[in-house]
Copies of this chain bind each other. A is one copy, B any other.
C-alpha cells in the first residue's frame, strides 16, 4: 500500500507516515457521507448549531497537541498557531450562531392571490443542503483553512456532510483534527459519515473525490494550478458540480502621492510586516505596490525603507521543501527579468525574501510579474502619479486591493476615489490605509474575487455568507401545511427572518 511521510520544515526530519488513500477508500468515504446526508439535513437548527459548537470544543480540548503537531509540520510558530486555532474554533461557533438565526434558510412566502391575472398560487421558498461536499485543506493555514476550517464549518452549517482531503504537508495535524471532529459527531449521535478524512500526497485521491458522482460540491484553498485542475474535472463530469476554489491573489497596493509624502515610512513598515507575515504564505499577501515617483527622493526612501524592513523580518522556514524551492526559483526568475531590480539587503533568514523594483512598462510586458508569487516577496512598480489610476486595469482579478491616501486633500481624494472605483471592478475586498492579511470572520466579509483569485466570484470562502455556497433553493407550491417543512409555516415557529408577500421581516423570537 503506498504511503507518504510528513516532514518538519525546520530540519527536514520525518514526522509521521500515512497510508495514501485509494479509489475504494474514496468510494467508502462518499458512501458514508451520502448515508449521513439525510440525518444531518434533518437536524433542527439548534441541534446542528450544537454540533458545530461541539466540534469547536473538541478542537479546543486537544488544543495543545494540535498546535504542537501543526508547528512541527508547518514551522508557523506556536503563537500564530494558537491564534489560528482560536480563529478556527471561533468560526465554528460563529457558524453555529448563523444556524441558530436561520437567515441562511432564505425563507420567502408569497400567499395565494386568486384575484391576480393569472391567479397566483401559494409559493414558499427555502434553501436545502446540496449533499456531500469535498473539502481540500490548505497548506498555509493548517487549522483555519484546514480540514475543519471555514469550508467544513460552513458546509456543516448548511447541513452538508464533508469528505475532507488533508494537505499532505499537514497530514498529521489534519488527522488529529479529524479525530476531534469524529468525537463530536459521535457524541451528537450522527452517522460517522458526517465527516470523513482522506489522505494522499498525490493527485489521484483528489481527482477521484471530485469526479465521484455523489459529491455535490467542492471547496478548495490552494494554488491556481490545483484549483483550476479541480474546476476542469468538475466541469467535465457527466453532471457538473460547483467548485469553490480560492486560489490566491496579487493583492495590489496603491500609495497616492500625498500618502507617500505624509507617511511613506509608516506605510512601508506596514506593508513589510504584511508581506512577511507567515513567511509571505498568505493568500492575501500584498505582492505588488504601485508607487508614484514624481518625487523621486520620496519614492527612493520608501523603497529603501521597505527593503530594509522586509530583510529584517523574522522569517521561519517555508511550509515545505517543495514550496521553498518553488519560491526560490520564482524569485530568481523575477530578479533576472530585464527591467526588474532586486533591492533586497542581505538577510540571514531561512528564506531569502525579496523586494524587487520595476516600472509600468515592465509590469505590463512580463506575464511572470503579473502572476502571484507565494512567499515573502514584493514588487514595487514605480510610475508617474498621472499614470497611477490607469494601472488598476492591469492587475489580474484578485482577493483584495489596498489604497493608502490622504482623503482630506481634494486632489488626493479624487485619485483615491478613482483607485477605489477601479479596484472594486477587479477584486473582492477593497481596503483603505490597511494591510490585506488578517481576514476578519464576520457577516460583512468577502473573501473571493474574479478569476484567477477564485473560480466562483459570487461567493465568499470566509465570513458568514460562506454558508450560502452549499445551499440550493426549493419552492413549494400550494402544499398543505401538514406537508410543508415546519419553518415554512405561517406562524414562523422558528422565528426566522423572512420575506412575506414581498415585505422583509427581521425575525427573532
Contacts and interface: CB of A to CB of B under 8 A. Distances in A.
Contact of A108 (B405, B444, B479): B444
A503 interface: yes
A451 B239 contact: yes
A37 B165 CA distance: 41
A231 B427 CA distance: 24
A123 B477 contact: no
A432 B469 CA distance: 28
A191 interface: no
B483 A432 contact: yes
Contacts of A471: 458
A367 interface: no
Interface stretch (A320-328, A343-351, A417-425): A417-425
Contact of A397 (B239, B428, B438, B482): B239
B504 A103 contact: yes
Contacts of A417: 483
Contact of A475 (B124, B446, B476, B502): B446
A199 to B, nearest CB: 29
A445 B124 CA distance: 8
A161 interface: no
Interface residues of A, number: 79
A403 B477 CA distance: 10
B451 A473 contact: no
A128 to B, nearest CB: 6
A474 interface: yes
A444 B475 contact: yes
B416 A475 contact: no
A455 interface: yes
Interface string A417-457: 10010001101111111100010101111101011100101
A169 interface: no
A61 to B, nearest CB: 20
B121 A440 contact: yes
A120 interface: yes
A440 B124 CA distance: 12
A294 interface: no
A416 B483 contact: yes
Contacts of A429: 474-477
Given A125-B444, A413-B482, 16 more contacts: A103-B504, A118-B440, A130-B457, A232-B235, A232-B236, A235-B236, A235-B240, A242-B458, A403-B483, A428-B474, A429-B475, A432-B483, A433-B478, A446-B475, A448-B473, A504-B504
Q: Which 7 A-B pairs have the closest CB atoms?
A: A235-B235, A446-B475, A123-B444, A110-B444, A504-B506, A431-B477, A108-B444
Interface of A: 83, 86, 103, 108-110, 117-118, 120-121, 123-125, 128, 130-131, 231-232, 235-236, 239-240, 242, 397, 403, 405, 407, 413, 416-417, 420, 424-425, 427-434, 438, 440, 442-446, 448, 450-452, 455, 457-458, 460, 465, 468-469, 471-480, 482-483, 497, 499, 502-507
5 contacts: A121-B434, A235-B240, A407-B482, A417-B483, A429-B475
